[in-house]
Amino acid sequence: MTIYIRADESGVFDPLHNDFFIFAGLIFLDKQEMELASRKVLSMEKKLRKKRKYKELPELKATLLDHADRRALFAITEPYSRFASIINLKKIDHKAVLADKKSKQRYMDYAFKRGLKWAVKCMVARGSIFFDDPAEFDIILDERTTATNGKYNLEDSILHEMRGEILNLRTGQCFYPALPATRKVVVRYGNSIKEPLLRAADVLANRILHECRHGDLWSIRDKNNLFILNLPD
């Protein structure tokens, strides 16, 4: 079984000036379904580009769209499994997390993998994924500045997290696995100009950030296929 993840982030990881930072993404268990979702995004964008204000834009990112148009693209994601990690920047350990660029990146990677693991566990509980099935993860994130070894560290970290090979320092035991037979995790960084589902993930992350800021997260949180993890927990 291959689990396809297409994800992006929204917000600025700056606790002095921001309250929240979001990772969000779409989860597909079927490649054909993923390709259909991609075509739906392209079709909606084609309609939107008939508007004069959008014709010259290199891509239709959420921050450049009118409210109604963002909602139209958000609606396309609703039939699919989605996940989000919501980081409350005011509650993190600022001294530890912001000590340097590496510690900040480690926390961001941690938030991403925890949100993904939570979503997978929810899907297992609902019977969408079988706990003992051998699994491979195909993950594309919107490209960002990162060292090459950062990508491999994230791949290894997700692999060990899914297998239940991460040690709980408080108990001395490993955290419970999500998919113990996970065989492989591949992380790639894609250009959202070329990846419609990265743009859809951008719209999803932006919408969640908006609802966090304006106190109406429950308007989308009760959707059966949107799995949200709040951090720090």
**Which of 84, 80, 78, 116 is closest to 209 using CA atoms?**
84
pLDDT at 222: 59
pLDDT at 159: 97
Q: How far apart are CA 64 and CA 163, in angstroms?
A: 40
pLDDT digits (tens, 9 = 90+) for 54-112: 999 999 999 999 999 999 999 999 999 999 999 999 999 988 998 888 899 999 999 99
Report the phi/psi class of residue 132: left, alpha or beta, with left for phi > 0 and alpha for psi in -120 to 50.
alpha
pLDDT under 70: residue ranges of the chain: 144-152, 169-174, 221-223
pLDDT at 154: 93
Q: How far apart are CA 83 and CA 135, in angstroms?
A: 18
Answer positive or negative: Cα dihedral of 96, 99, 101, 102.
negative
Domains of the chain (ranges, CATH numbers):
2-231 (3.30.420.10)
| CB distance 153 to 109 below 8 Å | yes
pLDDT at 99: 87
pLDDT at 169: 59
Residues in a beta bridge with 8: 24
pLDDT at 15: 87
Question: How many other C-beta atoms lie within 10 A of the C-beta of residue 130?
Answer: 13
Write the secondary structure of the chain as one string of H (helix), E (strand) and C (coil): CEEEEEEEEECCCCCCCCCEEEEEEEEECCHHHHHHHHHHHHHHHHHHCCCHHHCCCCCCCHHHCCHHHHHHHHHHHCCCEEEEEEEECCCCCHHHHCCCHHHHHHHHHHHHHHHHHHHHHHHHHCCCCCCCCCEEEEEEEECCCCCHHHHHHHHHHHHHHHHCCCECCCCCCECCCCCCCEEEEEEEEECCCCCHHHHHHHHHHHHHHHHHHHCCCHHHHCCCCEEEEEECC
